[in-house]
Amino acid sequence: MSDATSDPAATGGEYERQPVPERARLGFRSFIGMYAGEHTAGTELMIGPLFVLAGVSAFDVVAGLLIGNVLAVLSWLLLTAPIATRVRLTLYYHLERIAGRHTVILYNLANGIAFCFLAGAMITVSATALGVWFGFELPTLSDIAPNSVGWVLSVLAIGLVITLVAAWGYRFVSWFANLAAPWMVLVFIGFGVVSLKWFVDATGTTLDSPGALWTLAETAIWTGVQVPGQPAFTIWHVIFFAWFANMAMHVGMSDLSVLRFARKSWYGVASAAGMYVGHFVAWLAASMMFAFQMYDAGLTSEAAMVAAADAGTIPAPLPGPLADQALGVAGLLCVIIAGWTTANPTIYRAGLAFQAIMPQLSRFRVTIGTGLLTTMVAMFPGVAMQMLGFVALYGLLLMPIGAIIVIDYWLLPRLGLKSFYAEYAGRRLTLPVLVTWLVTLGICLALVQFAGIEIFFVALPGWFIAAVLYIGLSIMTQKRSAPARDPVRRKEGTS
Amino acid sequence: MIRLLKLISVLMLVLAALLPLLYLFDVLGEVTMKWWMLAVTLGWFAVTPCWMGREEAPVASEGGHD
């Protein structure tokens, strides 16, 4: 800490404001491990059950996840990695060169707040495991605010530990996350296998063929019966949700900061490890655990579901009790570790984002403040219970910036316009970026609010809206200001 | 020594994968399986730090994924 050297290698190889040099680049295996670990997180245990509440059918969830995850991997491979490995800058510095310092501050604010909500949901997940040990009342599906003193104290305890570790011992957690990742992946798979056994026993099925397994999946696990008040998911919802669950990272370009270390552009395909371990196996396993709770409660028909919803007896998707039921103490440890190891880097990154806005404050103080804000969010279980909508909103929020980066890098030079215009013109804020970002978000949210398009689907047309807006506004701005800035061209133009 | 520790770590992972399957095919009871899973978990976290370096994956520090 005291040895604040300017050598990036000595400061953890961050290379915040310079391209990553050859010697610091990493091989394919580093990215496989990183993606598999980062995407097998505590929130997967929340998202899987929410699919069941949304009434997905077996075919829709399996085919939808397969297709949606392919699209996500292709987004990393074709959008993020090619720019990351050509420019090799962090997203923040890249954006500063395009849009100016003040735009980055706004981006950091949006990103930091979103990270707080995400990390808050992870702490919520971990706290459900403590509920099993200490026996306090856990939140129900309809709870938005904290419902017991035990819950508040539990979230507070976990939040404080995670905050202090993020502020002091971040590198230890990073190492511990890598250590836990292989074990955690297998425990997640174990959740699925054990819940499959429950279904086999409860239905009397004999698993003597793939057909028998599929019939079990269709008739008992993912029955397609939706809980009233929850979003109703079709295959299209699953595809778009899986594709855009990490939209901020691929289409939104946050992972420029990660993939700038890749030796080759095709390393973007390593994201498949995260998608198919975390967002396929883990989501399916978690949803199977919860599906058995629903099956066990007799909630396999529309009528039973409506009656249970009216009576307020729909089971809550609480990862702690589910993991305890499946794998005992090992399962509970998995829930705590999965929440902890992924909440920590998220709080750390949120702290960095906020510190960029208030550089006069130390990173330690900002991280403590960020962690406390995150802990407050975690006390409200409504955030985690509405995870599907929140994840879609988070991706949408940062998506226009990704579209701007792609257009700025690939298309503007072909149109005779300048890339990295803020740097070229010495601007701290560029209107094309700011207007594109805000107007795109405004249009997307209006489509959700007034045109009845669900939030899961607006990001795709939103990307093209952002692209067209940015091109148009860049042409207007750059053509108008070019003569004023270039005296030679101005003279030619007036002669 | 390191090779032996790595071998034990691999064994822990194999067991972590195998135990739920043994439960699925009625070779192990639920309670036994859960105890063994806990033992495997403790084994993994006791042995693996002895050989797994602390500089394994610098990019993981970029974080922020769900």
What percent of chain B has a predicted confidence (pLDDT) above 90? Answer: 73
| Separation CA A346–CA A368 (nearest Å) | 13
Considering only CB atoms, B17 lies closest to which of A186, A246, A333, namely: A186
Which residues of chain A are within 8 Å of residue B29 when distances are taken between CB atoms? none
Which residue, A241, A281, A223, A175, is CA-closest to A456? A241
State residue A262 phi and psi, 5-degree precision: -75, 135
pLDDT of residue A346: 83
3-state secondary structure of A82: helix
The C-alpha of A472 sits at a distance from chain B's nearest C-alpha, in angstroms, of: 32
ipTM of model: 0.88
How big is the A-B interface in CB pairs under 8 Å? 131
| Separation CA A367–CA A375 (nearest Å) | 12
Which residue, A74, A69, A372, A452, is CA-closest to A242? A69
The C-alpha of A12 sits at a distance from chain B's nearest C-alpha, in angstroms, of: 8
Mutate to test the interface with B, among A179, A259, A393, A398 (most CBs of B within 10 A): A179
Partner-chain contact A333 B56, CB within 8 Å:
no
Mutate to test the interface with B, among A14, A113, A193 (most CBs of B within 10 A): A193
| Separation CA B6–CA A426 (nearest Å) | 55
Which residues of chain A are within 8 Å of residue B35 when distances are taken between CB atoms? 328
Q: Is A205 exposed, middle or buried (0-12, 13-18, 19+ CB in 10 A)?
A: middle
Mean pLDDT for A41-66 is 94
Partner-chain contact B60 A37, CB within 8 Å:
yes
Inform me whether the pLDDT recorded for A8 exceeds 80: no
Domains of chain A: 21-388 (1.10.4160.10)
Write the pLDDT tens digit of every residue in A101-115.
999 999 989 988 998
SS3 content of chain A, % helix, strand, coil (to 5): 75, 0, 25
What percent of chain A has a predicted confidence (pLDDT) above 90? Answer: 68
- What DSSP string runs through B22-64? HHHTTSS-HHHHHHHHHHHHHHHHHHGGGTS-TTS-GGGGG--
Q: Where are the beta strands (DSSP E) in A119-235?
A: none
Radius of gyration of the CA atoms of chain B, in A: 15
A271, closest residue in chain B (CA to CA): B65
B47, closest residue in chain A (CA to CA): A179
Sign of CA dihedral A324, A325, A328, A331: negative
Which residues of chain B are within 8 Å of residue A273 when distances are taken between CB atoms? none
Sign of CA dihedral A441, A283, A43, A262: negative
Write the pLDDT tens digit of every residue in A177-213.
888 989 999 999 999 999 999 999 999 999 889 999 9
| Separation CA A61–CA A368 (nearest Å) | 39
Comparing A172 with A4, the larger pLDDT belongs to A172
Write the pLDDT tens digit of every residue in A224-238.
999 998 889 999 999
* In contact, A391 and B66? CB cutoff 8 Å: yes
Comparing A64 with A144, the larger pLDDT belongs to A64
What percent of chain A has a predicted confidence (pLDDT) above 70? Answer: 94
Which residue, A474, A477, A326, A487, is CA-closest to A409? A474
* In contact, A20 and A261? CB cutoff 8 Å: yes
Cβ atoms within 10 Å, residue A429: 15
Structure tokens, A298: 């007799």
Partner-chain contact A349 B63, CB within 8 Å:
yes
Partner-chain contact A174 B34, CB within 8 Å:
no
Q: Is A460 exposed, middle or buried (0-12, 13-18, 19+ CB in 10 A)?
A: middle
State residue A38 phi and psi, 5-degree precision: -65, -30
Which residue, A457, A468, A471, A462, is CA-closest to A440? A462
CA separation, residue A384 to residues A39, A57, A259, A422 (Å): 17, 23, 29, 38
Which residues of chain B are within 8 Å of residue A174 when distances are taken between CB atoms? 57, 60-61, 63
Which residues of chain A are within 8 Å of residue B19 when distances are taken between CB atoms? 190
Res. A360 pLDDT band, cuts 50 70 90: confident
A175: CB partners within 8 A, 6+ apart: B54, B56
* In contact, A432 and A440? CB cutoff 8 Å: no
3-state secondary structure of A57: strand
Question: What's at A322, amino acid-wise?
Answer: L
| Separation CA A139–CA A377 (nearest Å) | 14
pTM of structure: 0.89
